[in-house]
Amino acid sequence: MEEDYPARLKHCVLLFQRANIDLKSQKIISVVSTRNVTNYGTSFYNQCIEELAPLTPVIVSGLAYGVDIAVLKAAMDRGLQTIACMAHGLNKIYPRVHA
């Protein structure tokens, strides 16, 4: 079974999964940026996700304010698979509004 585990995630631990995610996808895009995103920045990332959507990548980002959550929301709006990385314990999602 371990040989089936995606090489990119061998050093990561998947603690919770809410849906089926293609962890062996060859198209995984990770986006992490500022929490103080401008309207231009949000528009830019929305356009990027829109243009990438036909390639059906898995989008990985954090749950923080700003670009992280904007990218995840844009991906979910387009039906893409997402992975949200938390920088804290499972007993508390921060910020709470991103639960």
Question: Could you read off the pLDDT of 27-45 as tens digits, one per residue?
Answer: 888 888 777 888 998 899 9
pLDDT at residue 52, rounded to an integer? 94
Reply yes or no on whether the pLDDT at 15 is more than 60. no
pLDDT cut 90: percent of the chain above it:
27
pLDDT at residue 27, rounded to an integer? 86
The 8-class DSSP code of residue 79 comes to: T
Q: Which of 11, 31, 36, 39 is nearest to 75 (CA)?
A: 31
Is 98 or 65 the better-scoring residue by pLDDT?
65
Annotated domain spans of the chain: 2-98
- Measure the N-to-C terminal CA separation of the chain; round to a whole number of Å: 32
Is 29 or 78 the better-scoring residue by pLDDT?
78
CATH architecture entry for 2-98 = 3-Layer(aba) Sandwich (3.40)
